[in-house]
Structure 1
Amino acid sequence: MAVSIRDVAQLAGVSVGTVSNVLNRPEEVSADSVERVTKAIDELGYVRNEAARKLRAGVSSTVGFVVLNGQNPFYNDVVRGAEDEATKSSIAILYGNTDEDVAREKLYIDLFQDQQVRGLLIAPYGDVTSRLQSLRAAGIATVLVDRFSGDGRFSSVSVDSVAGGRLAVEHLIATGRRRIAFVGGPFDMRQVTDRLAGARAAAENAGDQVDLEVVATSAMTVDEGSSAGARILARHPRDWPDALFASNDLLALGLLQAIVVDGRARVPADIAIIGFDDIPFAGAAAVPLSSIRQPSRMIGRTALRILMEEAADPDSIPRQTVFPPELIVRASTSGA
């Protein structure tokens, strides 16, 4: 059985309040009481519950982090960046994966609010505006991750996905591609719609020479990418696109897998492929994958830093940090 502060007080012959003062404000306690309490602590082997102490003081040593797809290595790197920054302040990260499910997202937000975390980082799937407002009212700071706060009510750390989509399609056009398919979904995800918007802008700027079609997926996973690839290859070869822009690297890897297994088309000679995120697996694929890079760890570190500043100053003005995307060219589009 764990030794409690009451056990220490009983053995030392002092009140619980005196033991608390010895632990937290020893300068306010007589030397005799300090000695008696210290001796009792040593004899009983009492270890104070630091988490409970901080919670009672109104300062939690934990931060919640809710991500929308824990299977995507991009989010693993973002969390790692937040953890690297959190350790500087002796903060622990509690992590929850919603798996692109609104009910699970609500469950984790409720859980972290009940735990009275110091703050919440969230890469949201659904519309969480009202929930984040209630967290703020409860004194819990919040920062959006991988999602731009359009109305500016909350701080956010993201990458310009519209610019990223434009970069991807401009690159495909520069390599001579004219029949391009955007592969992605679901379209209630802001990241997907922003990347498609950038792709469309690039195609429109190129004029009538470029045709951009949309191949919808229900999720951004390898399996969905493989399924989309099979649907594309089921067409007559003359109706195949000559380039595929996937809304993330997992989809792109699934597309690549489908094309390689089918064997009728070559990458990139017949069909070029580019993804988004530049996860570690991209460069290690059978045909190294071109991608739009997001600075994943920097996103996590920046989000945690802003969260700690807002937790310390609830009246601070929300800020929007937007990193520029970077085009990474590999063999899946260049043939190099």
Structure 2
Amino acid sequence: MANDAGVRRSSMREVARAAGVSVSTVANVLSRPAIVAPETRRRVEQAIRHMGYVRHGPARQLRGLPSPIVGSVILDLANPFFAELNRGIEDRLAEAGCLVLACSTDLQPAKERQVLDLLEEQAVRGVIIAPIGPDPAVLLEMSRRGTPVVLVDRPRDGLDLCAVGVDDVLGGRLAAEHLLSLGHRRIVYLGGTFETGTVIRRREGVRQAMRAAGLDPDDLLIDLRLPIHPPPLVEAAAAGVQQILAERPLPTAVLCLNDTAALGVLHGLGVAGVKVPQDISVVGYDNLAFAAGLAPALTTVNQPKYQLGRAAADLLLDEARPDHAHREIRFRPSLVIRASTAPPRRA
């Protein structure tokens, strides 16, 4: 068979003849290598390399075999949290012989819908998505039409889909309880003018912690929402420091929606001559790789980013099983205390 450039492709039948096996054995080596005896698999793989055999994707799908391509639809690949999450997806699916097509939606609903339509048109094996909004209608319809969908970084909430997430309410509560235990009472929660469910749930965790301590979050919690999307997030958070410093009485702590925003806050406070944690404590969320190397090192809430991605990929692969049942995997966050938090100077 020749491709569009006129170069002849080796066929699966020719590979089988060269390896001295059946065509079905070659197909198994390509699609289900674990069921083929090691010596036979080695002989077939050697023949594939020697003959330069390349699988033909459209023909594969015409034979009813699933596509090896999986769509990973996330908010922002430039965000280190999603980059590490996507690495977990990619590594796990590579083990299963799949290729990940990673797409950023940049918190734009129209772009998310366009990406999903294109992936479905390409008959991908499935989609792993960190959805922008709460409306799951498009995703449910996609699943009903035969394209498996797995939610990541979002709870299942009773949907007929698989989901992997972290208990964000607990994460917000852990961060707030730490600040309250140090004596902080007037706290800024730094969120955004456009927020995903993860950020909203973290805020609720903060409010829960304050109420449990006998405090009224409506009086003491400063809910500051910045235009932090689309990126750059660091610059927007740094600029937002002026709003924090304009509050009276001055807050003694800032709890940021993620570590990237906390990085911007630390920079903005430094430019303003405000010392951390002596004047204001700062807490992040995610425990990104750079958090421990900041000056001061950042107190933050740890999420198992890589494990989130691998778990989502596992659920997607499990969709192919005839006995598959939709389920949810939820991880617990943990608090990592570093040098950016301390008791406030004022009572």
TM class, shorter-length: 0.7 to 0.9
- Which residue in the other structure is 1:76 paired with? 83
Q: Distance in 1 between matches of 2:63 and 2:251?
A: 61
1:107 partner letter: Q
Matched, 1:224 2:231: no
1:61-89, Cα deviation, whole Å (9 max, x unpaired) = 11000001222100000000111111111
- Which residue in the other structure is 2:109 paired with? 102
Matched, 1:329 2:337: yes
RMSD: 2.5
1:245 partner letter: L
Q: Please give the secondary structure, in 2, of the residue aligned with 1:270.
A: coil
Q: Is the 8 A contact 1:185 1:218 kept in 2?
A: yes
Identity within the alignment, % = 35
- Which residue in the other structure is 1:192 paired with? 199
Matches within 5 A, 1:155-234: 155-186=162-193, 188-208=195-215, 211-219=220-228, 221-234=233-246
Q: Distance in 1 between matches of 2:276 and 2:195?
A: 30
Q: Please give the secondary structure, in 2, of the residue aligned with 1:156.
A: strand
2:341 partner letter: T
1:5-30, Cα deviation, whole Å (9 max, x unpaired) = 6xx8xxxxxxxxxx67556797489x
Matched, 1:3 2:7: yes
Q: Report how many aligned residue pairs link the two structures.
A: 306
- Which residue in the other structure is 1:14 paired with? none
Q: Is the 8 A contact 1:54 1:61 kept in 2?
A: no
1:37-78, Cα deviation, whole Å (9 max, x unpaired) = xxxx99xx7744433333223310110000012221000000
Give TM-score, length-normalised by structure 1. Answer: 0.84
1:147-202, Cα deviation, whole Å (9 max, x unpaired) = 11112321110000000000000000111211111110245410111000000000
Structure 1 pair 4–172 and aligned structure 2 pair: CA distance change class (3 A): same
Q: Is the 8 A contact 2:269 2:275 kept in 1?
A: yes
Q: Is the 8 A contact 1:4 1:46 kept in 2?
A: no
Q: Please give the secondary structure, in 1, of the residue aligned with 2:240.
A: helix
Q: Distance in 2 between matches of 1:190 and 1:100?
A: 12
Q: 1:53 aligns with which of 37, 59, 65?
A: 59
Q: Distance in 2 between matches of 1:334 and 1:222?
A: 23
- Which residue in the other structure is 1:129 paired with? 136
2:223 partner letter: V
Q: Distance in 1 between matches of 2:277 and 2:143?
A: 49
Q: Please give the secondary structure, in 2, of the residue aligned with 1:143.
A: strand
* Greater Cα offset, 210-219 or 249-258: 210-219
- Which residue in the other structure is 1:311 paired with? 320
Give TM-score, length-normalised by structure 2. Answer: 0.81
Structure 2 gap ranges (5+): 25-46
